[in-house]
Chain A
Amino acid sequence: MQNVTKVFGSGDGTVHALRGVDLAVSRGQVTAIMGQSGSGKSTLLQVMAGLEPPTSGHVLLGDDELSTMNDEDLTRLRRTRMGFVFQAFNLLPALTALENIRLPFLLAGRSIDADTERWIELLVERLGLRERAEHRPQQLSGGQQQRVAIARALATRPDVLFADEPTGSLDSASSRDVLDLLRSASDEWGQTIILVTHDPVAASTADRIVRMSDGRLVDDWAGGSAESIAERMLEAGAR
């Protein structure tokens, strides 16, 4: 991202959500974006993921410029090269767990080749969802739903996976579980992950942490334990 700004509204109600953000995310790493609510971290995620156009500046995925793409191209880009994990899980209630995992391929109108089929099989196995594949989301616990969502996000082997407060609706055991899965996706398969969170425990899985405040990046370090992250955040808050 180069010098990205995002302004909502105009006149008196103008909100400068992003005030010139420069950020380069490295391939294969887990990058956590932290900050208090209203700091602009959610807007940053939306702009990076092509869900909202920036007001100015450039957003690039590899060599592709997102900021100039039309809605159709962005949509195709999202379904082939990006994965999403949300706080609210956001599985489709009308589809089974397995159908949810295969959804990106259905949307793309692509048949699933044997290689991808094996990949999905592996994901289902590794995420402990085999017994639950035919269940509807309503029949699954929060932790299980989030694991399905992670499988859905990984199924297309995206260039980048965006996780927005993925543990925000989970108990601590399920949270641990989900974070371990994201971590191992990065370690084993080199998955690039951008994790938006305000939880130091979640951020402790990251290789790098950037902190936002008032629409700007104000801190950037290699992370560490949950305690050290919490301390650094507290110090920043006290200043």
Chain B
Amino acid sequence: MKTWALRQLRESAGQYAASVAVVAVVSAFAVLLLETIEVFAKVVSDAGMDGGDVRVALGSVAIVFLGIAVLVAAIVISNTFSMVYAGRVRDIALLRLIGATGRQVRRTSLIDGAAVGLIGASLGIVAGVLLSLAGIATVNASTGAGLSFVFAPQIVLVPLLGSVLATVAASFSGARTVSKVAPIEASRSMPEGQSIPERASKLRVGFGIALFLAGTLLLGAGLLVGLVTPVGILVAFPGGVLSIIGVIIAAPVLFPPVLAVVARLLPGTAAARLAGANLRHDPVRTSRTVLAMVIGVTLLTMFTVAGEMFIAATRDFFGDQTGETEEYIGGLLTAVYVLTSFSVIVAAIGLGSTLSMSVLQRRRELGVLRALGLTTRQARQMLLAESLLVSIVGVVIGLALGVGYGFVGANSVLGVQTFGPPVIPIAFVVAIVAGGLLFGAVASLAPGRRASKVPPAEALREA
């Protein structure tokens, strides 16, 4: 079993590259955040003040943004693992036929998970330390602050243990589905290609929708409480967390209707129609890909809307004497954008790799299309359309959720003074839509090229 697992790992190395990159990005982000805290704490305590408060304050900010990046990464990685394992279904069934137990199959997945986690974390930690050194040098050069690198064990331990734990968990959950593969599947011919679309469990989706509704109720309650006292946020915040968890769980049923509407906006060309059908065919995988986008866009939108509402409210309250507040909130927003950008990078890698892997798994299908008359250009356009659909749907859902959260968040604090409508800067919407389209177009380049190179003779290969 171990030999088989190691050989499979080697064969899947290319497909894991994106996961390794994702782990590396998040690990580097973790190192940067933790090192920033250490450096600040040292500066404060050198100045004779208590460094503990700084640690707590910055630490909670770090936990929130790191947590979000980890969440996005976990979604991307579990998508990768479930696709890799879906490609191995026949081999696994064969192993089961010869006598491997479901448990043995699951255990082999630990090797994949550990390898991805260890390699990604090591690369990320090295990159994070180098970035920290570069950052410190830049600050020193421009301000002469004389900062120095502070080594603390957690800047290595946290990303290392966190990454390995997360990847092992993701690979284990991905393997759970395939370890249920019946030995009989080995003898069954699968003329429709290797990948089986995943089905969402009704129970899970129901649970997700229930969480989403409960969260929405709490958000509404927070809004009402906010009319009386600023502590409305304490009611609204858990509501926001609950509802987004609900969205994540129920995504396979919540997203496809949005996808269907957006798909209708595309031109009725072969490439676009096939792209829409492909995405609808595997709602679980599609919604996981969309989800990574949704989280990034939701965060950016939420902070932007809430920030602008705070600015609008202070303007109402203090008239025009608000330059300083606006500058302060603007600065906070910039910080939020920078912190969120790591999650957005992770989502971008995830979109590109999901598309690339789907091309690998659809080789026969692409061969058939080529044999029946799909030109290489249409093949590239099909992948472009898939990618654009995913990013547009992600932007649409993210904008809707973000505006909602931003609106509730701001009013649950400010409502008692001025209850305001959501402020949605047009420039922001334009930027995020344009960004989403660009992001989708770029992510489709490599997989599109790959798809156009599938030879039509692939259709004739025996199943």
Instruction: Write the residues of chain A forming the contact surface with B, with a CB cutoff of 8 angstroms.
Output: 42, 45-46, 49, 51-52, 71-72, 75-76, 78-80, 84, 86-95, 99, 103-104, 106-109, 137-138, 145, 152, 164, 169
Contacts and interface: CB of A to CB of B under 8 A. Distances in A.
Nearest to A45: B460
A86 B273 contact: no
B324 to A, nearest CB: 56
Given A78-B371, A108-B373, A138 B463 contact: no
B375 interface: yes
Contact of A94 (B189, B280, B460): B280
Q: How large is the interface on B (under 10, 10 to 19, 20 to 34, 35 or more residues)?
A: 20 to 34
Contact of A95 (B197, B277, B373): B277
B456 interface: yes
Contacts of B189: 88, 169
Contacts of B457: 46, 51-52
A94 B373 contact: no
Nearest to A46: B457
B455 interface: yes
Ordered nearest first, which 4 A-B pairs have the shortest CB separation?
A: A79-B373, A94-B281, A88-B191, A94-B277
B370 A75 contact: yes
A109 B269 contact: yes
Given A51-B460, A87-B462, A103 B280 contact: no
A87 B372 contact: no
Interface stretch (B142-150, B339-347, B361-369): B361-369
A136 B371 CA distance: 21
B278 interface: yes
Interface string B373-416: 11111100000000000000000000000000000000000000
Of the candidates B192, B373, B375, B463, the one having the most CB atoms from chain A within 10 angstroms of its own CB is B373
Contacts of A94: 274, 277-278, 280-281
Interface of B: 189, 191-193, 197, 269-270, 273-274, 277-278, 280-281, 364-365, 368-378, 455-457, 459-460, 462-463
B192 A104 contact: no
B270 A84 contact: no
Report whether over half of chain A's contact residues are helix, strand or loop; otherwise say mixed. Answer: helix
Contacts of A152: 372
B456 A137 contact: no
Given A86-B368, A94-B280, A109-B270, A51 B456 contact: yes
A169 B462 CA distance: 10
A91 B192 contact: yes
Contacts of B372: 78-79, 84, 103-104, 107, 152
A103 B277 CA distance: 12
B373 A46 contact: no
Nearest to B269: A109
Contact of A93 (B192, B269, B375, B462): B192
B178 to A, nearest CB: 19
Contacts of B460: 42, 45-46, 51, 86, 164
A90 B277 contact: no
A45 B374 CA distance: 19
Nearest to B192: A93
A71 B375 CA distance: 8
A124 to B, nearest CB: 18
